[in-house]
Structure formats: C-alpha cells, structure tokens
Amino acid sequence: MKRLFQTYLLWLLSVCVAHSACPPPEVQFMRCTLQNEKTLQVCQTDTHARYIYGRPGTVPDIEIQRAFGKGASRVPWDGQGRQITEGISFSKNGYTYAAYAGIQRLYGDAEDTHPLSVGGVVVFGPFGAYLFDHACLPETVEWLGY
C-alpha cells in the first residue's frame, strides 16, 4: 500500500510539473492565462503535440496528447491579414480543441509599437458545431512564433 501511495505521489508531481513546463524533448508552442483564470499550454515535438488546460499547479482539467496526423494537426498562418496566428488542433471523443496564438500587427502611428499578442482555444463539438471559446489575456501570451 505504501508503495502504491508513493507511485501515486510521483505521478501527481510529474503531472503538476508537466503543467508548468513542457517535459523534454517537447518544446512549448504556446502558453497563456485565459480570461477564466485557467492556463492553456500546448507542447510539441516533430511527431506529436500535447494540449494542457487547467489551473496552474494542479492536475490539468484536460490533457490530450496526439501524434500529428493521428488526432493532432498544425494550422499554419494563411499569409493574409494583419493578424498572424498559428495553431494546433486536437481531436478527442468527437470534440476538437483548436489552440492558437499569434500577434495582431498594428498600422499607422502604432505600427512601431510592440504588436498585440492574441491567443486562445476554440472548441467544436460533433459535426464541427461551434461550442465555445476562451481568449487569452493578451499580456500573458507566450508563443514560439514570436
């Protein structure tokens, strides 16, 4: 029983640590605090990606790991417009979690200032029906692309 409890504590610690930083060899694609005060983090390698959502320092509410082409897919910037965003989408049980991050380029007098950071997650249900989205607090967005 003691051994089982120790194993559980080690697992719990590893989950909480993984929620705060991407475990090697993964690198962070994006991370932010959402308007609902939960954290969204996406970690990736060349072959797979991990979606982590929940309160910092706790076991994640949702954690999804998928291989690219098998439940995870990259969503590159389409090259148009002043909002430059990239994303990674994850499929699980008929739902799609599309995490994105990027910048909003400014024009005119504000063009020389630091661009606004954007990010969040959009969730779709069966048959692609929009369910909800959570936006990142702009000042908290960390994005690999910028």
Q: In the numeric block, which tokens belong to residue 101?
A: 């991050």
* 13 pLDDT higher than 60: no
Average pLDDT over residues 1-14: 42
pLDDT at 117: 81
* Residue spans per domain, the chain: 2-143
Three-state DSSP class for residue 112: helix
CA Rg value for the chain: 17
Share of the chain above pLDDT 90, in %: 65
pLDDT at 8: 39
Taking the model in full, what pTM does it have?
0.79
pLDDT at 115: 62
pLDDT tens across 43-101, in order? Answer: 999 999 999 999 999 999 999 999 999 999 999 999 888 888 999 999 999 999 999 99
The CB density around residue 84, as the number of other CB atoms within 10 Å, is 19
Which strands form 71-75's sheet, in the order they lie side by side?
Answer: 130-135, 116-124, 95-104, 83-92, 71-75, 62-68, 48-54, 39-44, 27-33, 142-143
Looking at residue 34, what DSSP letter applies? B
Higher pLDDT, 97 or 116: 97
Asked whether 120 and 41 are in contact (CB, 8 A), the reply is: no
